Structure 1
Amino acid sequence: MSESLQDSAKLSPEKERSLFVQGLIDFWKQFRKNKPAIVGFLIVLFFILIAIFAKQIAPQGINDQNIAIRLQPPSAKHLLGTDDFGRDILSRIVFGAQLSLRVGFFAVIGSIIVGTFFGVIAGYFGKLIDTVISRFFDILLAFPSILLSIAIVTILGPSLNNALVAIAIVNVPVFGRLVRSRVLTVKEEEYIMAARSIGMGNTRIIMKHILPNSFAPIIVQGTLNIATAILDAAGLGFLGMGAQPPQPEWGTMLSESRQYITNAPWTVIFPGLAIILVVIGFNLMGDGLRDALDPRMKN
């Protein structure tokens, strides 16, 4: 009986690939119906391409100073103007995309890995383990994210990498609770009980059934949290706790230029617009991913 169940549960590699490809096609058909999500995807793709080809796009070096042209308004030579050191703002925003996206992606990836690990353990094994991990998540969530990030950076020291670590730690309970909730639901499904009945071990059940059926909400939440991570990094940079001058991080650029907001507003407007656009892009794309990956939204 157990052998027949195992044989019926197995799919050939060709069948698995076919189902995967069909799933991608169905996802894209659903995703492209959401026009705001497509706009968000194009915005995100635009900034990713800027970050990848920053050296080719930037007209000047990020730290090329010329005091003679400091605080010049946008012109044909300097499309977005210059800052108080005569540096080209466009070049610094282009290279700043690399820093902001790096923080966003790697902070969220770190949060997903650690949060998923603890969330799976808490949800699958339950009892005392679940209680301890859940209370730990509750403690972290009791603090406002930006304040907890500041506290962690204060301990580690101000830098972009330490800001990345702080943002990752702050977001761990978000993914941990999400995964725990999903695991609590999935582990009661009939196919999980069938897997246990044929002697499948806990590790194999988690890797083969629990995690694959928890990816959709993780992807959606991860996309939305990239926007949050970029905002947090900009906030820490603005407060002097994140990237340090002369790094062209957008929040740091805002902090350096805030005293010139009245007589040289372009020094503040363009870095601010970059932050706004990339955050809007990830939020719109995240909403579209949620609708496309949620079976209840198919209609």
Structure 2
Amino acid sequence: MPVLAKRENEIDQLQQEEASSPWREGWKSFKKNKVALIGAGIVLFFVIIAIFAPLLAPYGVNDQELSIRNTPPSFEHWFGTDDFGRDIFSRVLYGARISLWVGLVSVAGSVILGCFLGIIAGYYGRWIDTLISRIFDIMLAFPSILLAIAVVAVLGPSLQNALIAIAIINIPNFGRLIRSKVLSVKQEEYIMAARAVGMSDGRILFHHVLPNSSAPIIVQATLAIATAIIEAAALGFLGMGAQPPQAEWGKMLADSRQYIIQAPWTVLFPGLAIMLTVLGFNLMGDGLRDALDPKMKN
């Protein structure tokens, strides 16, 4: 037993040395990418306003004053008001909470389930791999937004059900990505050595295979958050996501589309918020991809 434990420690040390060096180099490369830092700054900005929305908002998120319906931007109402006399600036701030929450939680669920299925398929192969891969293929055969609409139609329109739908439609993307990575990682020397000393499959998968497959997952997750925000806005626009009076950016666009001519500010600022948030995550994701992917080094 002492010999076995010593060999396992040696394998762990070898794996950690191989994994830590790319992460350090990736971080140095990311810091040199000015565009990626701009994206990270945009994301950080929206995270801060989402956290401190109650302190930053000059009015309550659902405070109504019908006498100032659809008034243009002014010193009292920086982004103007909507058709209920609600302050758009305050609602945009609170909308950041909902959009970021949906994006982060839905992608986290997709990563957990997708990685679990992808690791099992890639590591064990055979009929398990065939079954899981065919399930992924069937899910990918449907356009993502149509599949999300179908899921919400079954569960019922609500923000929580929209979150579940977005998580479900992104599972195949992470599953196929981690599966392809596992197929190559499991042939590495430290994995073969771990098997030779009798290390359990569970420890090999979660202590060796998964950490060495995490770089592409992090990149894909960052980009998927941007996609999830757009999908949540689309479901909200269709009335299948956030429900009144929730201040969700897509729902704000849907409620104001009939006033786009006489009160364009009611759709301008929620649309800009969606665009900037998605842009920030995309720029940061591209920077992470360039930093962590060895093929992009040159």
Given the two structures, how large is their TM-score scaled by the length of structure 2? 0.95
Residue number in structure 2 paired with 1:8? 10
- 2:255 aligns with 256
Secondary structure in structure 1 of the residue aligned to 2:275: helix
**2:89 alignment partner in structure 1:** 90
Matched, 1:247 2:246: yes
Q: CA deviation at 1:4?
A: 6.5
RMSD: 1.9
CA drift of 1:28 comes to 2.8
Tell me by how many angstroms 1:3 deviates. 6.9
Unaligned segments of structure 1, at least 5 residues: none
State the alpha-carbon separation in 2 of the partners of residues 258 and 246 from structure 1.
16
Residue of structure 2 in register with 1:123 after alignment = 122
Taking structure 1 as reference, are residues 24 and 57 closer, same or farther at Cα in structure 2, changes over 3 Å only? farther
Q: Which residue of 2 aligns with 1:55?
A: 54
Give the Cα–Cα distance (whole angstroms) in 2 for the partners of residues 97 and 184 of structure 1.
39
Structure 2's unaligned 5+ residue stretches are none
Please tell me the residue identity of whatever aligns with 1:152. Answer: V
Query: Are the structure 2 counterparts of residues 95 and 113 from structure 1 closer, same or farther at C-alpha, using a change threshold of 3 Å?
Result: same
Once the two structures are superposed, the pairs formed by residues 61-80 of structure 1 within 5 Å of their partners are 61-80=60-79
Distance 1:172 1:57 in 2: 36
1:36-51 correspondence to structure 2 within 5 Å:
36-51=35-50
* Counterpart AA for 2:263: A
Structure 1, residues 166-222: CA drift from partner, whole Å, max 9, x if none? 000000011000011110110111221111111111111111110000110000000
**In percent, how many aligned pairs have the same letter?**
64
Q: For the structure 1 residues 156 and 10, does the alpha-carbon distance in structure 2 shift closer, same or farther, using more than 3 Å as the test?
A: closer
- The 3-state SS of whatever aligns with 1:32 is helix
Q: Which residue of structure 1 aligns with residue 204 of structure 2?
A: 205
Distance 1:38 1:221 in 2: 18
The one-letter amino acid of 1:294's match is: D
1:140-176 Cα deviation digits (max 9, x unpaired)? 0000000000000000000000000000000001100
CA gap 1:10/1:276 in 2 versus in 1, 3 angstroms: closer
Provide, for residues 63-122 of structure 1, a one-character-per-residue CA deviation record: whole Å limited to 9, x for no partner: 100010000000000000000000000000000000000000000000000000100000
- 1:231 pairs with 2:230: yes
Residue equivalent to 1:181: 180
Contact 2:11–2:193 under 8 Å retained in 1: no
Rounded Cα–Cα distance in structure 2 between residues aligned with 1:193 and 1:77: 67
User: Is the counterpart of residue 269 in structure 1 residue 271 in structure 2?
Assistant: no
Contact 2:11/2:190 (8 A) holds in 1: no
Give the length in aligned residue pairs.
Answer: 295
- Distance in 2, matches of 1:237 and 1:4, equals 56
Cα distance, 1:6 vs structure 2:
3.7
Q: Given the superposition, is the C-alpha separation of residues 75 and 201 from structure 1 closer, same or farther in structure 2, using an over 3 Å criterion?
A: same
Provide the C-alpha distance between the structure 1 equivalents of 2:112 and 2:5, rounded to a whole number of angstroms: 34
Given the superposition, is the C-alpha separation of residues 3 and 82 from structure 1 closer, same or farther in structure 2, using an over 3 Å criterion? Answer: closer
Structure 1 distance, partners of 2:172, 2:76, is 47
2:164 counterpart of 1:162: no
Alpha-carbon separation, structure 2, partners of 1:97 and 1:232: 15
- Amino acid in structure 1 at the alignment position of 2:206: M
AA in 2 matched with 1:220? V
Shift in Å at residue 25 of structure 1? Answer: 4.8
Change (3 A) 1:193 1:143: same
Which residue of 2 is the match for residue 27 of structure 1? 26
For residues 92 and 9 of structure 1, the distance between their equivalents in structure 2, rounded to whole angstroms, comes to 53
**In the aligned structure 1, how far is the partner of 2:203 from the partner of 2:28?**
32
Give the match's secondary structure for 1:78: coil
